[in-house]
Amino acid sequence: MPMPMELQRASQEFEAYLADTRETTGLTTRNQIYTTTQGVLHSFRRRLDLDEAIRFAGVLPPILRAIFVADWDTSEPKSAFGERADWTKDAQALRKDHNFSSDTCVRDVAAALRKHVDKKEFERTLATLPEAAKDFWRA
């Protein structure tokens, strides 16, 4: 079996995601964009059961999927979904002294991410998650 195209193009697709996220966030460096993305993805992951998180990871592009599952302590207690302010605070807490995520970081990452997923599969997967998951990824 040949290597899947999504893996062959993973770096180029991630670069395109970074460019789109730069536009939506106004951040200037790759490190800032990476930290914001990681914070938002991990904030979302904390609010899902393990099986829900695995389903969600399956619709992400390869490098974003890797960021989503990186450093995962699966024994960590699940967080309540809460509201956008909770998600934002959670995302901004990652590497706090080096985190430039704005108060719109969740919405900004959602807008960029939606350009890089299969929209139909993404929505289908969100429909299998708690109702608040749709709000989380609303751009």
According to the model, what pLDDT value does residue 7 have? 65
Mean pLDDT per 10-residue section of the chain, whose length is 139 residues: 72 94 95 96 97 97 97 94 96 92 97 97 97 94
According to the model, what pLDDT value does residue 49 have? 96
Q: Which of 67, 10, 18 is nearest to 43 (CA)?
A: 67
User: What's the Cα-to-Cα distance from 124 to each of 2, 53, 137, rounded to whole Å?
Assistant: 27, 14, 13
| Of the options 3.40.50.300, 1.10.490.110, 3.40.50.1580, 3.40.50.280, the CATH number for the domain spanning 8-72+79-136 | 1.10.490.110
Rounded CA-CA distance 99/32 in Å is 7
Q: Which sequence spans correspond to the domains of the chain?
A: 8-72+79-136
**CB half-sphere exposure, 43, CA atoms < 13 A:** 30
According to the model, what pLDDT value does residue 3 have? 66
